[in-house]
Amino acid sequence: MAVTLRFSQDDALRCRFAISPLWEAHAALYELRDATETHHLPWVRRARTALADVDLSPLYAVLPVRGYTPDFVAPPPVGPAGTFDAELARVRETAPAVAARELALSLDRPGDPEARHAAPELLADPAATVGRLADLLEAVWHAAIEPEWPRLRGLLEADIAYRARLLADHGLARMLDDLHARLSYADGVLTFAAHWGHDRHLDGAGLLLMPSAFLGNRIATGFPPPWQPTLVYPVRGAATLWRPAPDPDGSLARLLGRGRGRVLLSLSEPAATTALAHRLGLAPATVSAHLAVLRSAGLVTADRHRHEVLYRQTALADALITSCAAGTG
């Protein structure tokens, strides 16, 4: 079976990217429950400890591994980079009739004991269920996502900056093809294999594209009307999220100093000052000072992306790091 999204000329002009803090909290729940991606285990251990006293079973009941997840739990964002509080407010405003319809669809899973056990209580009062699920999402955000948000946001914004460059250099078809190995775009149709069938004409609504750090190797889409057509794809570099910041080897450390070398090595993927400071455990002012020196030496370059500046290694930096690693630096 396959999912197909059919573009008109207007749809191609209305593709956009967004980052959703609410979606990351929602997607993280799958990893928190199942721990399927080994590179997320450091975060999973911390998050499970922080949420040990919170009963997440109502949320888990409407987040099937296979099946429909209520769209109101994590609706497509209306802007490019909203706040968690603003997105959660939209969840709390969900009309009871919408919640009832989507909850019933999600919980209609014959043979699933979790759904069968939860359905009577969650369907009895849809308005109350909306508030309950929103409260749990808020608890997940504050305990498990918000402390890591600078690092997560930095990775997501770096991904969008990469896609924007690809779009500018090679066009829409190449950019869409590059989102995931299972995706292909040809003749105005975006297609990928899936365990369900879905054929949708975008009809001028465009397509919202969102990177996600907790999606594993999956693709998420659907969002039938009235929701914005959306495709969520795995962010580049997710496997590096929780790794300790790299330390420079002897020759690179002698040349640049340990602190400056750590900053340079951490820019294997573009990052903003705040995200670097969070990852390295340094003050933002210290990171800014290191970046200024590295930039003046031609080892990093900077590009503005929305409200932040993203730094990345230059070709000169890559050659220097390779040379030092080979012992010739």
Decide if pLDDT at 138 tops 70: yes
Q: Tens of pLDDT along 178-189?
A: 999 888 888 889
d(CA 310, CA 211): 17
What pLDDT score was predicted for residue 284? Answer: 87
Q: Tens of pLDDT along 231-290?
A: 999 999 888 888 877 788 788 888 888 889 898 988 877 888 888 888 888 888 999 999
Mean per-residue pLDDT for 75-94?
Answer: 91
To the nearest 10 degrees (0 to 180), the angle between helices 284-296 and 258-265 is: 80
Decide if pLDDT at 328 tops 60: no
What pLDDT score was predicted for residue 306? Answer: 63
| Residue 305 binned pLDDT confidence (cut-offs 50, 70, 90) | low
Read off the DSSP letter of residue 144.
Answer: I
CA 68 to centroid of chain Cα atoms: 20
Mean pLDDT, the chain, whole residue set = 89
> Would you list the domain boundaries of the chain?
2-234, 244-325
Q: Tens of pLDDT along 197-216?
A: 778 888 888 899 999 999 88
What pLDDT score was predicted for residue 329? Answer: 47
Q: Which two tokens stand for residue 106?
A: 């999600």
Mean per-residue pLDDT for 191-200?
Answer: 79
CA 111 to centroid of chain Cα atoms: 31
CATH code of the domain occupying 244-325: 1.10.10.10
Q: Tens of pLDDT along 22-63?
A: 999 999 999 999 888 888 999 999 999 999 999 999 999 999
Indicate the burial class of 168 (C-beta count within 10 angstroms; 0-12, 13-18, 19 or more).
exposed
